[in-house]
């Protein structure tokens, strides 16, 4: 290893330098204050937990993204948290099991053994919110509205919202009786959004003509919620078990559209992100010029059961570093004052007073050139603030 290699960071691991670090921290405080104003209580789960607790109730994807280490005290496997949501589910079910509805927020760095996409960091600063104890329409509308409002607070422009529902695919798979291998093939086809290939697959694998039509129709369920009404109605006729989920997507879209009339929205029932983890509505937010979702979430009602307390649950998360980079929030610039290096107690008191007033005071060392707005000078027998 050369001396230069010692300073290289691993792929996907980034460091944040001035002034971006100040911008991110300013945004973190602002968004957490906003979430608190919305009634979401801050929690700080541990970065490291026993693996069997950390991965309980999660899908295979999270297991593959989790760094694993051996605890030198107990010999048990531990993991670095790759996603805050399962930990908050444990908090709701066990550590802070309150009656009624619970609302939590968080912001902390998580760690990924492999990036979730080409654009993603392996150490995202995850910020998000979770709502427990309510399975109805109002909870889904609240959490999506909170996500969109938070993105507004982060200065995001031209946000586009995608709505899906993995419950629709579950109902189709259940009625058609397809096996795990067939589901894997379907996932690949739906990911490619190729209606022709999906129709060919349905003709080859399914004998029931109504199910062939249903799976062929599934590939076309992408568009504005008003434009999807006829297709949704036909899917409900073909697969009665999907009727409630389809109606739920439509109602959520209608409510969100009233609150955010300037946010473009599309329903996409081919989106099966988190299929092994989510249980119903899923959603994601995008902005022009960025190829990944800037925030995403969904319903995961079954996660708390493994901790001994089954609770309706929904939430979302985003990478704060991405929001800071793409958003348009100006960081308040502090007035910078330079002070001479001196052991005068009066000077020290003047410095402390200015700092308590929110000014940035730097003590000049060895006559270094410090860019500043003002300086402390000794005039008329006292330390005074003058223009630099």
pLDDT tens digits, one per residue of 139-183: 999 999 999 999 999 999 999 999 999 999 999 999 999 998 998
| pLDDT tens, position by position, 33-71 | 999 999 999 999 999 999 988 887 666 778 899 999 999
pLDDT average, residue stretch 215-242: 95
What rounded mean pLDDT belongs to the chain?
93
What is the pLDDT at residue 62? 87
pLDDT band at 91 (very low <50, low <70, confident <90, very high): very high
Q: Tokens at residue 323, please?
A: 């929001």
270 or 59, greater pLDDT: 270
Say what the pTM is. 0.94
Residue 2 has pLDDT above 80, yes or no: no
Encoding tokens for residue 332? 């308040």
Closest CA relative to residue 304, chosen from 60, 100, 54, 86: 86
Contacts of 6 (CB under 8 A, 6+ apart): none
CA 28 – CA 57 distance, rounded (Å): 29
| Cα–Cα separations (whole angstroms), residue 331 to 36, 157, 170, 207, 341 | 20, 17, 46, 61, 29
Cis peptide before 26 (omega within 30 of 0): no
Interatomic CA distance for residues 210 and 343, integer angstroms = 87
Q: pLDDT class for 1, splitting at 50, 70, 90?
A: low
Between CA 13 and CA 69 the distance in angstroms is 19
Instruction: Provide mean pLDDT across the span 375-387.
Output: 94
Task: Specify the pLDDT at position 303.
Answer: 79
Does 340 have pLDDT greater than 60?
A: yes
Choose among 317, 220, 329, 308: nearest CA to 269.
220
Residue 118 has pLDDT above 90, yes or no: no
Quote the pLDDT of residue 330: 83
**For the residues 206-219, what does the mean pLDDT come to?**
94
Is residue 209's pLDDT more than 90?
Answer: yes
Query: CA–CA separation, 138 vs 369, rounded Å?
Result: 58
């Amino acid at each position: 290893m050369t001396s230069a290699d010692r300073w290289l960071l691993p792929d996907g691991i980034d460091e944040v330098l001035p002034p971006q670090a100040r911008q991110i921290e300013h945004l973190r405080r602002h968004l957490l204050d906003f979430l608190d104003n919305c009634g979401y209580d801050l929690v700080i789960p541990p970065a490291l937990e026993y693996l069997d607790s950390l991965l309980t109730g999660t899908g295979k994807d999270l297991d593959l993204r989790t760094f694993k280490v051996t605890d030198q005290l107990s010999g048990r496997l531990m993991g670095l948290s790759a996603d805050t949501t399962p930990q908050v589910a444990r908090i709701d079910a066990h550590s802070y099991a309150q009656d009624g509805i619970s609302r939590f927020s968080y912001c902390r760095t998580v760690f990924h053994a492999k990036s979730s996409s080409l654009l993603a960091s392996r150490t995202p600063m995850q910020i998000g919110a979770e709502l427990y104890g309510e399975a109805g329409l109002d909870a889904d509308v609240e959490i999506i509205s909170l996500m969109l409002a938070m993105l507004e607070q982060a200065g995001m422009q031209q946000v586009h919202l995608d709505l899906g529902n993995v419950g629709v695919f579950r109902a189709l798979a259940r009625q058609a009786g397809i096996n795990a291998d067939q589901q894997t093939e379907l996932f690949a086809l739906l990911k490619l959004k190729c209606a022709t290939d999906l129709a060919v697959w349905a003709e080859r694998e399914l004998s029931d003509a109504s199910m062939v039509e249903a799976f062929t129709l599934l590939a076309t369920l992408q568009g504005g919620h008003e434009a999807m009404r006829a297709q949704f109605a036909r899917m409900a006729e073909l697969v009665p078990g999907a009727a409630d989920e389809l109606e739920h997507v439509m109602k959520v879209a209608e409510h969100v559209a009233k609150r955010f009339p300037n946010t473009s929205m599309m329903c996409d029932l081919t989106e099966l992100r988190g299929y092994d983890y989510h249980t119903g509505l899923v959603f994601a937010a995008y902005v022009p010029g960025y190829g990944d979702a800037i925030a995403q979430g969904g319903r995961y009602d079954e996660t708390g059961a493994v901790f001994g307390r089954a609770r309706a649950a929904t939430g979302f998360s985003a990478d704060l570093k991405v929001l800071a980079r793409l958003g348009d929030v100006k960081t308040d610039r502090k007035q910078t004052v330079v002070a001479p290096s001196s052991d005068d107690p009066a000077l020290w008191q003047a410095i402390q007073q200015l700092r308590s007033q929110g000014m940035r005071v730097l003590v000049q060392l060895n006559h270094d050139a410090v860019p500043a707005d003002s300086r402390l000078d000794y005039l008329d027998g006292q330390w005074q603030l003058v223009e630099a």
